[in-house]
Structure 1
């Protein structure tokens, strides 16, 4: 196995086509976060982004996008943002993890959403987690019949709230692929406020993430398209979702709603409307992403498994990094796995969020995401 390392601006049209072919040949690699378009978007903002190209008999058969620090620590491309990570390869291709790290100049490779089929990395996985998905089938009978058939327990309440929203605010409508960038800014503003209210890190306070989402919104390719979906009541946006789609998979990424309308359950409406419309647009799987959320248990049809861990070579840097990162991950996973710990932790974060949102902004501050 020959391995060459490339910057993303060096990837030729032929290499990208080979990468796309590897995605098409295995359902495990059909996720849009595994597309070269996503990795290239991240690489615009991350100077250490590289791609390892694996070749057999001179033919490119595998692709590993990653980020590398000056100390030789590697991480999956977009770690912390990407909900699916893998070395994308054609069927039957094998590799050795240590040899791959050596070729990449890495002492360690960190991941947190690794697909289960990555057997050469399996001995380095420290934990596996459920990633719920919805299997979709197109139904031309309309939204209400689809909802009653797919989710009979939710249908009556959801349809009632939609009718109420239409009476109270304005005619209810849904756009699956909204192209107005102003609505993307509205979504980011809502999501930023949600992060602050719940005490979470505000991703949209980071200019590079805002710029990345802006860029991905403009990408319109077969294997990666940025899809913005919006719920309206009259002319008023009520809820929105932005996520990438490939030919067959739509990833649930950023969903938010107008907090003034929370009593209508617009977030749940958003997920249900998106699922039904995605099926009509050729999507077969809606990936809800790793995480324990009640609405995911309501909506999922099955679960994938994703792994987190550290693939390492013997090296002082890899040892130090694991000693630093391992306990932090372990504590987080322990809290998330036990409701008795997770509920108090959520309360604490919300209390922090209340303090954060009650503080006046500094002079010249803004509620909108930073550029």
Structure 2
């Protein structure tokens, strides 16, 4: 087994084709976050991004994308953003995970959204979590019957849509906005998302220039089946809600959904997701992955759950121990909160209170 570590921009067309071919062989690998195009675009903004091309004899049997952080700490590509992580590999091929980490020049590789069927990492998992999904493999109508029977809020959405249309104009939905106005609409959606992060006391991802730049770059990425996907919901000429995500291999992970706060009474988030599911199913999408994390709207809309894992592959070296000391307490606390609904509710209320009273604001409004 040989591991050739390269910058993503150095991958040849043949290697990219092989990577995409390996993805098609295993359903859990058919996610845009594990596509070569995602890794290559991220590398423009995160220069420490690398790929280990795994050879067995003369055959390429795998691709391992990662970020080489200081002190030999290995992270997933686009750390904190990627909702699917792991090794893209041929079926039936296995090797030692620690040996792979060593060959990549790392002391440890940490993951928090490892996809299922990654046998090489079995002994290195420390926790698992549900990732709610919308299964569209049998079409939208079959999916909709299931969630409509289960959720009174979903059953009430047609009434809310009619009210929205009556008060603001005809409702229309765009699955993939590609016109000249798309970049401006994307900025609006990102501003809504930033305001949501701040309002709920979360870290504002879009305050970091590399993330905002990455999203705009991905909007224009349409060279293959992989592409950025900006979905927009309008009432009349007014933008009500939007979502920016990715699309590849018939899978759309939800990434950054947001809506106009003034439209909250119409349940715009649910209307957006349901419209996206209907249009995506008609356009050949088989799965919408809503990502790990407890959210009421996910429980309302999901048809099932995938499983993702977190953990670390560590070598017996001092820098791996240092990385563990820095990250383990925070992760343990987060797992405890995620597993206990009462703790999660308390933590959520505290974060929202912090968002309302953070410095520079009066009653939650910028001073």
Q: Is TM > 0.5 for Structure 1 vs Structure 2?
A: yes
Deviates further, 109-118 or 54-63 = 54-63
Please give the per-residue CA displacement for 1:51-83, whole angstroms capped at 9, x wherever unaligned: 000012222120011011231111111121000
Question: Could you say which residue in structure 1 is the equivalent of 2:258?
Answer: 256
Residue correspondence of structure 1 range 179-194 to structure 2 within 5 A: 179=178, 180-194=182-196
Change (3 A) 1:296 1:156: closer
Question: Could you say which residue in structure 2 is the equivalent of 1:284?
Answer: 286
Contact kept in structure 1, 2:218 and 2:228, CA below 8 Å: yes
| RMSD, aligned α-carbons | 1.9
Deviates further, 307-316 or 86-95 = 86-95
How far off is 1:139 after superposition? 4.9
> For residues 201 and 155 of structure 1, what CA distance do their matches in structure 2 show?
30
Question: Could you say which residue in structure 2 is the equivalent of 1:163?
Answer: 162
Residue correspondence of structure 1 range 216-231 to structure 2 within 5 A: 216-231=218-233
> For residues 273 and 134 of structure 2, what CA distance do their matches in structure 1 show?
11
Question: Could you say which residue in structure 1 is the equivalent of 2:72?
Answer: 72
Contact kept in structure 2, 1:116 and 1:306, CA below 8 Å: yes
How far off is 1:188 after superposition? 0.4
Question: Could you say which residue in structure 1 is the equivalent of 2:268?
Answer: 266
| 3-state secondary structure, aligned to 1:71 | helix
Residue correspondence of structure 1 range 137-148 to structure 2 within 5 A: 137=137, 139=139, 147=144
Contact kept in structure 1, 2:52 and 2:65, CA below 8 Å: yes
| 3-state secondary structure, aligned to 2:252 | strand
How far off is 1:294 after superposition? 1.6
Deviates further, 179-188 or 132-141 = 132-141
Kindly tell me the number of residue pairs found equivalent between the two proteins. 359
Please give the per-residue CA displacement for 1:116-146, whole angstroms capped at 9, x wherever unaligned: 21111111111011111111046588xxx97
| 3-state secondary structure, aligned to 1:151 | helix
Question: Could you say which residue in structure 2 is the equivalent of 1:22?
Answer: 22
Question: Could you say which residue in structure 2 is the equivalent of 1:310?
Answer: 312
How far off is 1:356 after superposition? 3.1
Matched, 1:113 2:113: yes
Question: Could you say which residue in structure 2 is the equivalent of 1:247?
Answer: 249
> For residues 51 and 324 of structure 2, what CA distance do their matches in structure 1 show?
23
Gaps of 5+ in 1: 361-365
Question: Could you say which residue in structure 2 is the equivalent of 1:363?
Answer: none
How far off is 1:274 after superposition? 0.8
Matched, 1:319 2:318: no
Contact kept in structure 1, 2:140 and 2:281, CA below 8 Å: no
Residue correspondence of structure 1 range 192-231 to structure 2 within 5 A: 192-231=194-233
> For residues 140 and 195 of structure 1, what CA distance do their matches in structure 2 show?
31
> For residues 239 and 301 of structure 1, what CA distance do their matches in structure 2 show?
22
Change (3 A) 1:146 1:285: closer
> For residues 146 and 9 of structure 1, what CA distance do their matches in structure 2 show?
40
Deviates further, 180-189 or 214-223 = 214-223
> For residues 157 and 13 of structure 2, what CA distance do their matches in structure 1 show?
46
Deviates further, 102-111 or 340-349 = 340-349
> For residues 116 and 137 of structure 2, what CA distance do their matches in structure 1 show?
24
Deviates further, 102-111 or 288-297 = 288-297
How far off is 1:276 after superposition? 1.1
Contact kept in structure 2, 1:177 and 1:229, CA below 8 Å: yes
Gaps of 5+ in 2: none
> For residues 282 and 100 of structure 1, what CA distance do their matches in structure 2 show?
36
Please give the per-residue CA displacement for 1:330-357, whole angstroms capped at 9, x wherever unaligned: 1011112112111121111111111238
Contact kept in structure 1, 2:147 and 2:303, CA below 8 Å: no
Matched, 1:32 2:32: yes
Contact kept in structure 2, 1:67 and 1:77, CA below 8 Å: yes
Q: Which runs of 4+ in 1 moved over 3 A?
A: 137-141, 145-150, 152-156
How far off is 1:258 after superposition? 0.1
> For residues 107 and 237 of structure 1, what CA distance do their matches in structure 2 show?
48
Contact kept in structure 2, 1:43 and 1:49, CA below 8 Å: yes
Contact kept in structure 2, 1:252 and 1:286, CA below 8 Å: yes
> For residues 171 and 200 of structure 2, what CA distance do their matches in structure 1 show?
28
> For residues 43 and 110 of structure 2, what CA distance do their matches in structure 1 show?
17
How far off is 1:150 after superposition? 4.9
Change (3 A) 1:117 1:208: same
How far off is 1:221 after superposition? 4.0
TM-score, normalized by length of structure 1? 0.93
- Within the candidate set 109, 125, 148, 1:151 is matched to 148
Change (3 A) 1:149 1:105: closer
